[in-house]
Amino acid sequence: MIHPTAIVSPDAKIGKNVEIGPYAVIEDNVTIGDNCYIDAHVKICRYTTVGSDCCIYFNALVGAEPQDHRFYRGLISFCEIGHHTVIREFVTIHRPPFEQLKTVVGNHVLLMAFVHVAHDVVIGDHVTIANHTQLSGHVHVDDGAVLSGFVMIHQFCRIGSLAMIAPTCLIGQDVPPFSMLRETNYICGPNTIGLRRANLSPNTRLAIRRAIKTFFFEGLSSPHALEQIAKNNNDCPEVEMFINFIKQSNRGIMPGNPKYTGVNDDVRDALESGATAPRG
């Protein structure tokens, strides 16, 4: 199932039931898993591994040399793509400029058209990144995060698990897990829909929302807010993840919306806990 115009290195390892389209280029030291679809004009560069059941669409460039002054030809570094991942048109993914390191895209990831994944980026599983979003070097995106289109992320920033990023955001600091970052570049609360889709219990969702509210919207300093969250946490691992993410931040945390007023908190608390919403 390899088109006669495709150029496939004899050193590449191609799995079973792999389709490679017209004018695709598969370089040396590439491994492609079973049941993959490689569209026309795709280039998969050396030292790249693609897992099984992946689809890579027209003109994508996977495992390319990085845009970094420290890189030199002949340096061996890697690009690793997980299983069941979809890479759409004109996506670019670069390997690191450092020996033996790797850029990683996880399992069940969707990278929409024109997404750029720079060197040393690590993307977790079940992540969705929409069109034209750009990830600078060393960015980490944790499992289940959703990034909308035209988002720009500064190098070394982290996006936490199940975070939701609105379109056109300019991200220069970390976004904690379970949080929602609005177009205004402020955290506005939890990613409520994402938490429900992840099948988290009502009590867990409530604990997460209260932790986010305490940290961002109660006017406390970061150490005092984390102390208060930990004091009120009843062994919820998701809240512990939230606390640890903030403690481990090197770039700082994106700010909360200063216009947040806390309207309808009682209603939200009741809904998250599964109780009947108060009247009035």
The reply to whether 119 belongs to the active site is yes
Compute the distance between CA of residue 241 and CA of residue 208 in angstroms, rounded to an integer. Answer: 10
Q: Evaluate whether 44 touches 63 at the Cβ level (below 8 Å).
A: yes
Q: Give the residue among 95, 99, 153, 87 at the shortest CA–CA distance from 119.
A: 95
Tokens of 265: 């908190």
Taking each helix axis as running N to C, give the angle between helix 202-217 and helix 265-273, from 0 to 180 degrees, rounded to the nearest 10.
150
Catalytic option among 119, 124, 174, 189 = 119
Give burial (CB, 10 Å; 0-12/13-18/19+) of 113.
middle
Q: Which of 39, 120, 142, 174 is catalytic?
A: 120
Type of residue at 3: H
Q: Which of 82, 106, 137, 144 is catalytic?
A: 137
Q: Is-catalytic flag, 137?
A: yes
| Neighbouring-strand partners of residue 38 | 20, 56
Active-site residues, by number, are 119-120, 137
